[in-house]
Amino acid sequence: MKNWADGTSDSPHVADQMALLKNVEIDSFSGAARGGKKPETAFHTAYSSTFTAVAATDVCTSTATVPNTSTCVQLTTTTTLPAGLSLATNYFIIKVSSTTFKLATTIALAEAGTGVDITGTGTGTHTVATVNPGTINHIVRDPRIDTKFAIDSNGVVWFMEETGSVVAEDIYLVLSTNTAKTSAAGNGLAVFRVSDGTATYLFAFRNALIDVINVYGDSNKQTPSWTYGWQTMNTTAGTARNHHAIVGQDNIIYYTDDRYIGSISELTVMDPSQANGTTYQWTSQALDLPLGSIAYWLEQLGVNLLITVGNDSYIYPWDRSSDSYGLPIPIGEWGGNKMKNIGNVVYVLAGTKGNIYWTQGTYCRLFKALPTYLTRNATTVSATNVTWGGVAAAGGNLLVGVGAASGQSGVYMITPEGKATIDNYPSTGQANVTALYADNDLYDMGYASGADNNNYSARYTNYECIVQSELFRIGDKTTKATLSTVEVLIATALAGSVRVGYRENTTGSFTTLATFTTATTAISYETDIGLTNLENIQIQVEYGYGIDLLEINLYE
């Protein structure tokens, strides 16, 4: 088997096709399947510990290893907290030693080492615990300063700086000043830089409210000043509706809101603290969709804004200026979901079966059906094979987050030709990737309780990269097959490990045939296997980053 470049087929029973390509790259080395890059967590490790406080020094002593400076925590107690500290309040760790810390009220104060003045030890048992993320719903980036923002299902906004003075660079830190917000499902973000470059505003969309903050400069992020409930949307509080937001090519923010599209535009130099109609124009119903519709996602195509609706089977094009939308585009499947424009072809996720469509603005066609045997390998009948996650583009390829009902969850990468691989999954294990942000082949992915960076510093090791062949028919009831030797060919001599397994059907477990330790001095490895009485065989190869797998050959 050697046809890696064809990607994953629609069936493991199709001749000359691959059943699974996971954590591998099929376009990095011609003719080979290269072990891929491994994501790393972009959040702190969850931490909870009892602690005691010394009023004279403001130092607290933990019973567990203290997280890094600037990590956000909250406090609880069985009786009374030490004087100077409060419940339901965000504090930021100042790490003094592995088991001691002080507490600051902002990231800026934490970085400066300025702790809260503790004036008493309190009574009872006190606990300190990190503020941990819910499900990450959206990730956006401020390209001017290379800062990424994420919003989770608790309505908490986080930020990560790849440059700047924040201590915990490349780790998401809490930007919200308070985590006890209502109407807080956290369903949209938009970054807007004002016309004179003096401010950059982050708009956060909760269930029914829009919050805003100036995130220009480190100080505004380290000592945040939010305007919570800046505007009230049409959506009823508590409904957890999607509020996908984008900054259009016309420099106007558009967002979904129940059956409406809202907009925020700059009139002069935007200042959200002023009244609507002075420096900005906020329109809560810039476009009405049909009664009963629930707008879900926005994407641009030429002058039009395309809108999917979660509870019908149409895409609604809007030229952004007319009173109504244009002729709806039938998707062919109920439940429009997320979209992504790649080279003026808009890919549309729809329904629950794993079907991806494409449109150029007038009609919609099926582009790719994710293989059912990968997304739902159970024998029971179900209406849902996949729950769609995030969507992005990397190197001209479509990235799609997939929560499989009973199969392979993670990020599927699909080329314009429809070749599919499972490119990655969260560092915590296979799960739906609910948010994706990609500038290039290195992307960020959010999921339930965390997010990962995909970068060149982490590697899949040993047996984390997997390819599976088709199920070969090599014998029958009367004429059984015998295989005596397995050979592995790699493109470049490299130190590592390759493990080859087999099974005789597509539901059983793989049995190891051979394990090879590769070296910098050879590209071909073989060994005797002695398999007999075979009618069918499927091969699985497991290996690590950097190995370019060329061929697996089985000989009689």
If one compares 163 and 534, the residue with the highest pLDDT of the two is 534
Predicted local confidence at residue 456, as pLDDT: 60
Token look-up 């119903």 returns 285
Decide if pLDDT at 444 tops 60.
yes
Predicted local confidence at residue 178, as pLDDT: 67
Q: Which residues contact 138 (CB under 8 A, 6 or more apart)?
A: 150, 151, 186, 187, 188, 189, 244, 435, 446
Predicted local confidence at residue 184, as pLDDT: 84
pLDDT tens digit string along 18-51?
Answer: 899 999 988 877 788 988 888 889 999 999 999 9
Predicted local confidence at residue 17, as pLDDT: 77
AA letter at 80: T
What distance in Å separates the CA atoms of residue 450 and residue 447, rounded to the nearest whole number? 6
What distance in Å separates the CA atoms of residue 241 and residue 260, rounded to the nearest whole number? 12
Q: Which helix (H) or strand (E) holds 103?
A: strand 100-104
Query: How many CB atoms lie under 10 A from the CB of residue 270?
Result: 21
Mean pLDDT, range 187-205, rounded to an integer: 96
Predicted local confidence at residue 299, as pLDDT: 98
Provide the token pair at 288: 């009405």
What distance in Å separates the CA atoms of residue 477 and residue 293, rounded to the nearest whole number? 57
**Least confidently predicted of 96-110, 117-131, 375-389, 417-431:** 375-389
Q: Which residues contact 256 (CB under 8 A, 6 or more apart)?
A: 188, 241, 242, 243, 244, 245, 262, 295, 296, 297, 298, 307
What's the Rg (C-alpha) of the chain?
A: 27
What distance in Å separates the CA atoms of residue 144 and residue 218, rounded to the nearest whole number? 13
By CB atoms closer than 10 A (0-12, 13-18, 19+), residue 310 is middle
CA dihedral 255, 256, 260, 262 (to 10 degrees): -10
pLDDT tens digit string along 220-237?
Answer: 999 999 999 999 999 987
Phi, psi angles (nearest 5°) of residue 477: -65, -30
What distance in Å separates the CA atoms of residue 123 and residue 59, rounded to the nearest whole number? 16
461 confidence band (pLDDT: 50, 70, 90): confident
What distance in Å separates the CA atoms of residue 534 and residue 219, rounded to the nearest whole number? 68
End-to-end Cα distance, the chain = 15
**Least confidently predicted of 159-173, 427-441, 518-532:** 159-173
Decide if pLDDT at 166 tops 60.
no
What distance in Å separates the CA atoms of residue 376 and residue 34, rounded to the nearest whole number? 26
What distance in Å separates the CA atoms of residue 184 and residue 453, rounded to the nearest whole number? 25
Decide if pLDDT at 362 tops 60.
yes
Beta strands in 258-320 (DSSP E): 260-266, 280-288, 295-301, 304-309, 314-318
What distance in Å separates the CA atoms of residue 245 and residue 476, rounded to the nearest whole number? 58
pLDDT tens digit string along 51-85?
Answer: 999 999 999 999 999 999 999 999 999 999 999 99
Average pLDDT, the chain: 92
Its pTM stands at 0.93
